[in-house]
Chains A and B, each alone.
Chain A
Amino acid sequence: MTIAEIAKILDANIITGHDLADHNIDIAFASDLMSDVLTLKDDNVLLITGLANLQTLRTAEMSDIHCIVFARNKKVSPEMQQLAEENDITVLECRYSVFRTCGILYQAGISPIF
């Protein structure tokens, strides 16, 4: 599923990485604990989180995660936006809860890592 399609079904706004919206994503992981995200071995994972700070972006950068959905209506700060742009990370803002976001994506065919 492309990032553009993900944004559409989540009624989410693409904040950074509009030019990467045709990029395909098949698997996702949801966590507010960045230590858990850093244990993932898979690449090209979609991260769903309600933790909105610079370390979320840094964790994505180190873990080769190229797309983040900030759920629970969390907002991306200008500093976060800049870091996302520097690292080609597509960032989406979504007003749905993490549970609802995951449910919609799972139903649409996005697979869990485990």
Chain B
Amino acid sequence: MHFEYQIEGGNFTRAGFASSEIKKMLKQLNVDLGIIKRTVVATYEAEVNVVAHAYSGTIYVDVDEEKIIIKLVDEGPGIENIDEAMKEGYSTASSKVREMGFGAGMGLPNMKKNADELKISSEVGKGTTVEIRMMFG
């Protein structure tokens, strides 16, 4: 099964809408509740990152009998140093993002903790792609 969701950069009113839709869809598919929680926490962290840092983005979700693959592709400034960004406490978030309760440099490390596999690639000036892979087995 394949689903797609659009993300609008800077729109904090809608941040989390796509993750919420993904959660509902996984519940309908009777996915294990523990896997759903880890999936949507990682996806929500990634979605908030797109809203916080990028101009726009798309979430591509693919579910089959063995796994869930969630790919977030954004158009934005990109990440200069991914290793640095993965360190807990490292953040380039604006004060607006911090007012929302984020921007403490915990998002990427928390995505890594929740995902079975996490891949990040980025090109400065173009954008970032985050792939979250969850296994059912």
Contacts and interface: CB of A to CB of B under 8 A. Distances in A.
Interface residues of A, number: 22
A55 B102 contact: yes
The interface centre, meaning the residue of A43, A64, A87 with most chain B CB atoms within 10 A of its CB, is: A64
Interface stretch (B9-17, B54-62, B122-130): B9-17
Contact of B101 (A35, A61, A64): A35
Contacts of B45: 35, 38
Contacts of B48: 55
B102 A58 contact: no
A86 B91 CA distance: 32
Interface stretch (B36-44, B64-72, B77-85): B36-44
B6 interface: no
Given A58-B15, A58-B44, A63-B37, A39 B101 contact: no
A35 B20 contact: no
Contact of A36 (B15, B37, B106): B106
5 contacts: A51-B101, A54-B16, A55-B12, A58-B44, A62-B19
